[in-house]
């Protein structure tokens, strides 16, 4: 690979969150060679399973929800840069597509308020049930208890769902990907590894097409960077 592909390599490193040694890059001749090098540098031996698969999946979901340029969605990109406003609405769409995406969380002040509200509701409910039992008998007391339990349960669900900010430790696309990958299935069979590796190859083709300004159909796995793609 020549000087014209330095930017390409840097882009590949940024997209996949890997480092490609200069000595190994010098031996790359084709698009498939570059994809194989990327696969060899990914965290898990034999392919991108499940981290790269989770990244591609999340990227497609973000693009579908926001309509932003897919080239902006990189592992190191901060979520707040991609979604500067309307985070709650877009995050709800992401979680609907993939429940493994972490929930947004409430501020400490809201959490404290919900704890106090739930506690006061329990105390008031206990008092109400006691009064109903004393004045209207056991049947009415049971009904009052059911109402109180429903209110407390509703408050618990609401407090869990309320959230406007990212949880601690989740700042970038890569942070979300690691959570999804850790909870995701293990791609252990040869067929599953092959599918995951194919995803990497297709992404390398796409990045090469973007960086060299060539139509995607001209960038094939067997394409030689120098002879076929003119990258000197």
Q: Is the pTM of this model over 0.75?
A: no
Q: What pLDDT shows up at residue 217?
A: 93
What band does 223 get if pLDDT is binned at 50, 70 and 90? very high
Per the CB < 8 A criterion, the answer to whether 14 and 210 are in contact is: no
96 and 112 assigned to the same domain: no
26 and 87 assigned to the same domain: yes
Q: What is the mean pLDDT of the chain?
A: 78
90 and 34 assigned to the same domain: yes
> Is residue 224 one of the residues assigned to a domain?
no
122 and 183 assigned to the same domain: no
Per the CB < 8 A criterion, the answer to whether 92 and 101 are in contact is: no
Cβ-count burial of 169 within 10 angstroms (0-12 exposed, 13-18 middle, 19+ buried)? exposed
43 and 76 assigned to the same domain: yes
177 and 156 assigned to the same domain: no
What band does 48 get if pLDDT is binned at 50, 70 and 90? very low
> Is residue 230 one of the residues assigned to a domain?
no
Give 103-146 pLDDT, tens digit per residue.
887 656 655 665 666 677 777 777 776 777 778 777 776 776 78
Top-confidence range, 164-168, 194-198, 222-226: 222-226
Distance separating alpha carbons of residues 145 and 134, to the nearest angstrom: 13
> Is residue 225 one of the residues assigned to a domain?
no
129 and 49 assigned to the same domain: no
> For the chain, where are the alpha helices, taking DSSP H only?
6-16, 22-26, 31-41, 51-66, 79-82, 87-97, 108-136, 138-161, 173-183, 190-212
71 and 33 assigned to the same domain: yes
Give 63-78 pLDDT, tens digit per residue.
888 888 887 888 888 9
196 and 99 assigned to the same domain: yes
Q: What is the mean pLDDT of residues 176-193?
A: 66
Distance separating alpha carbons of residues 52 and 211, to the nearest angstrom: 20
CA atoms within 13 A on the CB side of 20: 27
Range of the domain at 67: 3-103+170-218
Q: What is the mean pLDDT of residues 182-208?
A: 74
Per the CB < 8 A criterion, the answer to whether 95 and 103 are in contact is: yes
Q: What is the mean pLDDT of residues 164-188?
A: 74
Q: What pLDDT shows up at residue 152?
A: 62
60 and 174 assigned to the same domain: yes
SS3 category, 102: coil
> Is residue 55 one of the residues assigned to a domain?
yes
Query: How many domains does one find in the chain?
Result: 2
> Is residue 85 one of the residues assigned to a domain?
yes
Q: What pLDDT shows up at residue 89?
A: 85
């Amino acid at each position: 690979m020549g000087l014209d592909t330095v930017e390409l390599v840097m882009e590949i490193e940024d997209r996949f969150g890997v480092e490609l040694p200069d000595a190994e890059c010098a031996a790359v001749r084709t698009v498939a060679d570059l994809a194989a090098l990327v696969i060899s540098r990914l965290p898990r031996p034999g392919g991108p399973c499940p981290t790269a698969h989770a990244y591609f999946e999340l990227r497609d979901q973000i693009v579908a929800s926001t309509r932003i340029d897919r080239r902006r969605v990189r592992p190191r990109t901060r979520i707040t840069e991609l979604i500067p406003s309307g985070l709650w609405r877009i995050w709800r769409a992401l979680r609907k597509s993939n429940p493994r995406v972490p929930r947004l969380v409430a501020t400490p002040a809201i959490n404290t308020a919900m704890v106090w509200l739930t506690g006061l509701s329990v105390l008031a409910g206990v008092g109400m049930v006691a009064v109903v039992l004393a004045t209207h008998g056991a049947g009415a007391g049971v009904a009052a208890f059911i109402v109180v339990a429903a209110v407390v349960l509703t408050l618990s669900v609401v407090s869990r769902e309320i959230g406007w900010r990212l949880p601690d430790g989740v700042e970038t696309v890569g942070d979300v990907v690691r959570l999804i990958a850790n909870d995701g299935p293990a791609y252990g069979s040869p067929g599953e590894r092959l599918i995951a590796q194919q995803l990497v190859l297709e992404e390398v083709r796409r990045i090469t097409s973007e960086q060299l300004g060539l139509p995607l159909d001209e960038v094939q796995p067997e394409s030689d960077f120098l002879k076929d793609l003119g990258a000197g």
